[in-house]
Structures are given as structure tokens and as C-alpha cells.
Amino acid sequence: MREIYYVKRVENSRMAPPAEPLPHRRYFSMTVAAVLGLAAAMFCAGQRFANVQEGYRLEILQQEKQQVFEENRKLRLEVASLGDPVRIDTIARQQLGLTALSAHQIFAAEPLAPVVSAVAQARPLTGPLPSPAKNVAAAVP
């Protein structure tokens, strides 16, 4: 059997491609996703930058703390050396020309009154304790 083929030119220039349903929605969703991704990346970069800056500040504060501790240690040593009685006595005798006091230079401004205890005045002791106990510690109330 013989088949016959005819060649006919098809003109597609006037045909439009089928319209895609809502092409703008896909572009919009891709744009939103890109913006969100960029915002997340910027947030992470900002946090990293802030973390590095805080690390530098922390290092500076630790150095200042070490300096303050060292200065405090030096000042404590200086206070200890300045308060040494031997050093004070040496300076008083050599630089200021002071001498030790003799016995006739020392006097009391007011005579000291005898101190009487308030407990002793409240209950004078006039004999043995009125207790059948043989131990003093057990007899004291």
C-alpha cells in the first residue's frame, strides 16, 4: 500500500503560548523568600560582629582588672612597710630627733577609779552557796 504525504507549512506565528496561572505569585514568593534569607544572613552577621566586639571589650576589662589587682597588691605592700613599728621608731629617732620617754615624763591625767562589777554589787557573797550540790559548776544557776 502506498501512502501519500503532503507537506503543508504550519504557521504558528499568531499562536500565543498558554497563559501560566498567576505567574506573579511565584515571583512574589521567590522575592519574599530571598528577602527573608538575606535578613537572616544579615542578622547572623550582626550577631557575630557584636559577639566579636564584646570579646574585645571583655579582654580590655580583664587587662584593667589585672592592672588594678597588681596596683592593689603594691599598695598593700606599701601600707605594710609604712606601718612597720621598727621603721617608725627609726624615723622618729634619726630624722625627727625624738627619744624614748623617761619614767618622770609619764603621768596619768586622772587617777583611775576602781571598777566595781554590777554583778558583784547585786548579790554579795556572805558564805557558802545555798545548794546541796558538791560541785560549784552544778550549783551556779
Higher-pLDDT residue of 102, 93 = 93
- At 124, which amino acid appears? P
Q: Mind listing the pLDDT tens digit for each residue in 118-139?
A: 555 555 556 555 555 555 454 4
The reply to whether the predicted model has a pTM over 0.85 is: no
Q: Mind listing the pLDDT tens digit for each residue in 55-65?
A: 999 999 999 99
